[in-house]
């Protein structure tokens, strides 16, 4: 019981830190804009044009806070993660998972949200600001690295200290989906969260997660939307193709790795999967 309470509050702390740091950066920009006499529309424009920099700043502050938390607990922050090399033979299956899930995600968004969705508006703001190259880096590298550190490296591992792989993966995926604060987007981010836990458990490397997450973002933002048809039937066909790709690649991946680990992890070490 005590262990469960400790896990709950640790996870809550990790989430609150990320939210708080984002809010702090937003408040600072707002106050600075008011001090300079900017109107609300001007402030909105400033934020949109500098979204890359603001996200980076919030991520840096969050990581600093995480480091402080672990220092207080007398634990080494970097040792929480498995920055191991993963087998090159897994790369093809992981890439196929990303392709399949991108087809599913983009088709779901197109069917239920359309081109004018809030999510698409965010992506438009990111890709149309003055840092186009940096925006791609943000989507493909920075966001995946930060989210994998938080959701798989911190939250999933925290759950694995006291729960089985299956239960830990589902809880983490639910948190991951809810944190995106959009019902439709939450559906496929839940699936993405499950897949990322599956890969992490199999490869024992957060690099494999970062790769999968980065390829998924790259395909979902820059490539798959270009081939997304307007016909709903074809979009549904894309979903079926995506499911087939994810199922096939997951099965092949499962067949070549030693997983899932069904025993709960009682104490964490970098090589705890082994």
Nearest CA to 212 out of 249, 169, 257 is that of 249
Nearest CA to 134 out of 207, 51, 204 is that of 51
Identify the pLDDT of residue 123: 56
Identify the pLDDT of residue 229: 82
> What's the residue count for the chain?
274
Identify the pLDDT of residue 273: 43
Degrees to nearest 5, angle at CA 171 with 167 and 173:
115
Give the integer Cα–Cα distance in Å for 45 and 104.
32
Identify the pLDDT of residue 259: 62
Nearest CA to 89 out of 252, 216, 204, 205 is that of 252
Cis, bond preceding 260 (omega within 30 deg of 0)? yes
Residues of the chain with pLDDT below 50 are 116-118, 262-274
Q: Which two tokens stand for residue 193?
A: 């969260």
Identify the pLDDT of residue 171: 96
Instruction: Report helix, strand or coil for 118.
Output: helix
Q: What is the crossing angle of helices 40-49 and 2-35, to 10°?
A: 120
What is the pTM (predicted TM-score) of this model? 0.85
Identify the pLDDT of residue 116: 44
Residue 238 vs residues 68, 100, 111, 120, 261: alpha-carbon distances, Å? 45, 9, 11, 19, 32
């Amino acid at each position: 019981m005590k262990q469960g309470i400790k896990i709950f509050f640790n996870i809550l702390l990790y989430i609150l830190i990320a939210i708080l740091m984002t809010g702090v950066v937003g408040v600072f920009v707002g106050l600075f804009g008011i001090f300079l006499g900017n109107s609300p529309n001007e402030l909105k424009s400033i934020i949109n044009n500098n979204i890359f920099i603001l996200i980076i700043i919030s991520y840096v502050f969050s990581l600093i806070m995480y480091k402080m938390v672990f220092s207080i607990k007398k634990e080494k922050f970097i040792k929480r993660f498995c920055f191991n090399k993963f087998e090159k033979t897994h790369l093809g299956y992981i890439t196929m998972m990303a392709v399949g899930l991108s087809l599913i995600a983009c088709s779901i968004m197109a069917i239920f949200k359309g081109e004018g969705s809030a999510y698409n508006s965010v992506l438009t703001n990111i890709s149309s600001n003055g840092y186009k190259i940096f925006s791609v880096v943000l989507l493909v590298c920075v966001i995946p690295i930060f989210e994998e550190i938080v959701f798989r490296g911190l939250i999933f591992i925290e759950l694995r200290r006291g729960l089985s792989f299956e239960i830990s993966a589902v809880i983490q995926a639910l948190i991951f989906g809810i944190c995106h604060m959009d019902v439709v987007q939450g559906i496929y981010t839940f699936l993405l969260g499950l897949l990322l836990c599956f890969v992490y458990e199999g490869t024992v490397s957060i690099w494999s997660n970062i790769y999968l997450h980065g390829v998924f973002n790259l395909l979902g933002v820059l490539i798959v939307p270009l081939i997304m048809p307007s016909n709903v039937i074809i979009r549904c066909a894309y979903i079926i193709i995506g499911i087939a790709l994810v199922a096939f690649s997951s099965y092949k991946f499962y067949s070549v790795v030693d997983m899932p680990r069904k025993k709960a992890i009682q104490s964490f070490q970098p090589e705890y999967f082994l």
